[in-house]
A and B are shown apart, each in its own frame.
Chain A
């Protein structure tokens, strides 16, 4: 690790005076004939390149107060609509896999979740926001990936590759992924998108999106409908007891989403219905005799008013309601499938939030607010279980207060913030943060300290051991980043992170000993410590020919991981499922005005997981060799007629065995991913007059 620090310090030290400015536009007479719009895109030192516009574009996710990504108090990745479209990404897995530090792994029941910087993060440690709505289900706080979120409607994705709890609360311990879809103004008409993917033996996905939107004076609306069918893989799943079955036909990923956004002057409304229908036969590891539905239904509603009291003070009250049926196993199982467990629970959250933003001066902004929500869960239908209060209904109340001060001093930008939460079940959490950011011409620096927490989900509390004792886990993170812009068209960042999680909430299927008392069965317990340290670097080039983004991520547990189910006995520096080294490449080359060709690739270093193909004497632990996933996508814009776009490509060109390994020793063999897949996409935009 010392070598990493030395490398970064050397990088920081050289070339302090290596900045040069492009003043050509300011020296020319052309400037006298420019319009105001054109003038406002000129820096005091010249015209911004496309890359400069990108890296200096305002990011809202990191601080609630939009700031340029180079100064925002978080390690941030911005993904644009152009990058998503040109890469031909099939779903959010394809998009986020190219972000440094993000990997995907298998949970249970066919669900694939997210890992962040070498840590399993799918249960309440990464928050996904879709147009501001929290997409984590609230029973276990999990996320579900794979032909779920409609990438064709995404305008941009802002990713915090670090903690965000001081702003967002208990799901943002390791990261925040904020997905912003196209607004009515962006759509300005009607759009349709059809995509089809063909794997070796079966289709991968066949999806359709229809959307419409328009801005009419102060009123704006957008409405998008997404429906489709997909399959996780067409390989064979093998469990530990010798059962096997083909994934095609047994791993459905069928999305159905309606997303409505409306705004009028200072009012805005968002309503999302998300009906993600999947099937599972892998269950908790041992294969069932047939595939069963495992559905995730959710409804989200938000009403927000942004009231400008005066020139300095803005008050934003917000009301949210969500209802979810997550992990919905409501089928009648076949007699031979005794392991099938019915789960049929309705979760509801009703939330109110008031946020004040005060510009004390042009250099000082203060944000403060309060939030309260009630979580209620009800056991339905065939599910015969009850909560630990003996009832089939349970509810919790959570209140929170948060604060953030942003000071733009001449020495540096300083962000100080904190959030306090109190829950009627598991008590209080207090998470402060401190961010110092500085931009010096072509350089930028960030020094960030954040505490964060994971709030236990409703069933984390219900299934806690010893009963009723589960507490929030807490995380301390230190991050350092430096960015350097060698020229107008290129930019490199290097960052270090040091994550320590205390009392992590761990799901166990084996016996757990706590305070010398042994507990067995499926349970959630607070264990001692986990975490990682590492380095990430990202190099971007953008010019008229296209763009190239190359990044690398490394982590090591560095002795922080005391959680047995995460550990790799053969390599104590790594956690299960996640490669210590990963390289990503994302490029696009413009071929004339209409064509572009976009290669993307990920090279994952060796990984570890438990696999039934290994002899029992080795406890099934297997080392998986490095994996190269290479893809290509060609786009033809304005094909035949204006607004028509056709894309063709191939994902996993080398037909590598892409496996989602379980990141904890939970008795589940790796879940196969897609084989080589040929993808075709047609998009048509019929724009209205502005």
Chain B
């Protein structure tokens, strides 16, 4: 009888576990936009990119565009004013200092990476693992650490395109490819 009661209890628990779906946890765009702005403090662009305006491009449609627009226009990167642009043509990618690739656009990451080859454009994505597919930085939620926002960084991908990365940023990366 005791064994039966125990078995029923285990089955109920397992059924409960399997039937309950976690409410989706996703990146907070406001938080993500502040991350992206902060990256500009740790990365140096070559001299020819330090004139004019500082362009943060968002590839395709994303709520991040509005979040960035709410505050980066009041900020500067060095002496440069910041503008946020929605980029829809591959030919326009390389004009950006930073190009943000939403998760829905990950299928075009190789193409974006090829378009930025040799150009000082930092590619930022929002899915872990993308730093092995051409991105310089991937922002993600660490579900093992209470859904805190972290980032992975591929140093080679950034420096091979002519940008310099501060060691402080390297130390903060959750995962680093040198």
Contact = CB atoms under 8 A, between A and B. Distances in A.
Interface of A: 1-2, 5, 9, 12, 16, 26, 31-32, 34-37, 39-45, 48, 52-53, 56, 58, 67-68, 71, 311, 361-362, 408, 410-412, 436, 438-441, 445, 447, 478, 480, 498
Nearest to B71: A32
B148 A31 contact: no
B20 A16 contact: yes
Nearest to A558: B2
Nearest to B41: A36
Contacts of A447: 10, 13-14, 17
B30 interface: yes
Contacts of B13: 9, 12, 445, 447, 480
Contacts of B141: 44
Given A9-B12, A410-B22, A58 B31 contact: no
Contact of B34 (A1, A31, A53, A480): A31
Nearest to B39: A36
Nearest 5 Cβ contacts at the A-B interface: A56-B146, A44-B147, A36-B38, A44-B28, A43-B147
Looking at B13, B42, B177, the one whose CB has the most chain A CB atoms below 10 A away is B13
Given A34-B34, A35-B38, A42-B31, A311 B147 contact: no
Looking at B17, B27, B175, the one whose CB has the most chain A CB atoms below 10 A away is B17
A440 B20 contact: yes
A52 B20 CA distance: 23
Nearest to B14: A447
B18 A411 contact: yes
Given A31-B34, A32-B34, A447-B14, A362 B149 contact: no
Given A32-B71, A40-B172, A56-B145, A26 B30 contact: yes
A439 B143 CA distance: 10
A440 B17 CA distance: 9
Contacts of A9: 9, 12-13
Interface of A is mostly: mixed
A1 B172 contact: no
B148 A436 contact: no
23 contacts: A5-B6, A9-B12, A31-B34, A32-B34, A32-B37, A36-B42, A36-B172, A39-B35, A39-B38, A40-B148, A44-B25, A44-B28, A48-B146, A68-B144, A68-B145, A68-B146, A362-B129, A410-B22, A411-B17, A436-B14, A438-B17, A447-B10, A480-B13
Contacts of A2: 2, 5
Contacts of A440: 20, 22-23
Interface of B is mostly: helix
Interface of B: 2, 5-6, 9-10, 12-14, 16-18, 20-23, 25-28, 30-31, 34-35, 37-38, 42, 71, 128-129, 132, 141, 143-150, 169, 172, 175, 177
Nearest to A8: B9
Contacts of A362: 128-129
Nearest to A408: B143
A52 B172 CA distance: 21
B44 to A, nearest CB: 16
B38 A52 contact: no
Contacts of B149: 39-40, 42, 44
B148 A41 contact: yes
Contacts of A5: 5-6, 9
A227 B128 CA distance: 49
Nearest to B131: A311
A1 B9 CA distance: 12
A362 B26 CA distance: 16
Contacts of A52: 146
Contacts of B31: 26, 31, 39, 42, 44
B19 to A, nearest CB: 9
Contacts of B172: 36-37, 40
A37 B175 CA distance: 15
Contacts of A35: 38
Contacts of A480: 10, 13
Contact of B150 (A1, A40, A408): A40
Contacts of A32: 34, 37, 71
Contacts of B146: 43, 48, 52-53, 56, 68
Contacts of A438: 17, 20
A58 B144 contact: yes
Given A1-B2, A5-B5, A441 B144 contact: no
Contacts of A26: 28, 30-31
B17 A445 contact: yes
B5 to A, nearest CB: 6
A441 B16 CA distance: 15
Contacts of A361: 129
B9 A58 contact: no
Nearest to B70: A32
B148 A42 contact: yes
A230 to B, nearest CB: 40
Contacts of A16: 20
A58 B145 contact: yes
Contacts of B6: 5, 498
Contacts of A42: 31, 148-149
B34 A436 contact: no
A43 B31 CA distance: 9
Nearest to A32: B71
A125 B169 CA distance: 45
A277 to B, nearest CB: 44
A56 B144 CA distance: 8
Given A36-B35, A41-B148, 18 more contacts: A9-B13, A37-B172, A39-B31, A39-B35, A39-B38, A42-B31, A43-B146, A43-B147, A44-B27, A44-B141, A44-B147, A56-B146, A410-B22, A436-B14, A440-B20, A447-B13, A478-B10, A480-B13
A1 B5 CA distance: 10
Contacts of A31: 30-31, 34
Given A1-B2, A5-B5, A311-B177, A436 B17 contact: yes
Nearest to A34: B34
A440 B25 CA distance: 10
Contacts of B17: 411-412, 436, 438, 445, 447
A34 B147 CA distance: 18
Contacts of A41: 148
A442 to B, nearest CB: 11
